Amino acid sequence: MLPVEVKIEDLIRLELVTADEAIGSHKKIAKRLQREGIVKSYRTSSGLFMLEQNEGRDCYFLDKKTRLCSVYEKRPGVCREFPKTIGPRPGFCPYIPQAPKRPLR
């Protein structure tokens, strides 16, 4: 799975960053999230945060057992847009080529 890059708005939606905190230094936010093992890196030029990956290069938010997205309702914008082929199937991660047949919940 490719590393997932998210915007500050995504981190707010994921409740990892408060709106107040987002007004301040994004580098500082990145350092905190790196310490917490959620973010791998931050690019100042694009303002994008790269999420950490779990074993097998899975997305940090992919449930290891179900292989479904654990934050589907709050998932980052990039996951909502890519790839279009899977369509709006609740719970499924669009980055997983062979998604399980059973949706989350």
Sites of contact with ligand SF4 (CB under 6 A): 4, 59, 61-62, 69, 71, 75-76, 79, 93-95
Q: Which is nearer to ligand SF4, 12 or 28 (CB)?
A: 12
At its nearest, how many Å lie between ligand SF4 and the CB of residue 105? 15
For residues 5 and 45, the answer to whether their CB atoms sit within 8 Å is no
Structure tokens at 44: 């100042």
At its nearest, how many Å lie between ligand SF4 and the CB of residue 3? 9
Q: Which is nearer to ligand SF4, 29 or 79 (CB)?
A: 79
Q: Which is nearer to ligand SF4, 17 or 23 (CB)?
A: 17
At its nearest, how many Å lie between ligand SF4 and the CB of residue 5? 10
Question: Rounded CA gap, 28 and 93, in Å?
Answer: 29
Alpha carbon separation from 58 to 62, 69, 93 (Å, rounded)? 6, 11, 11
The vertex-68 CA angle with 78 and 100, nearest 5°, equals 115
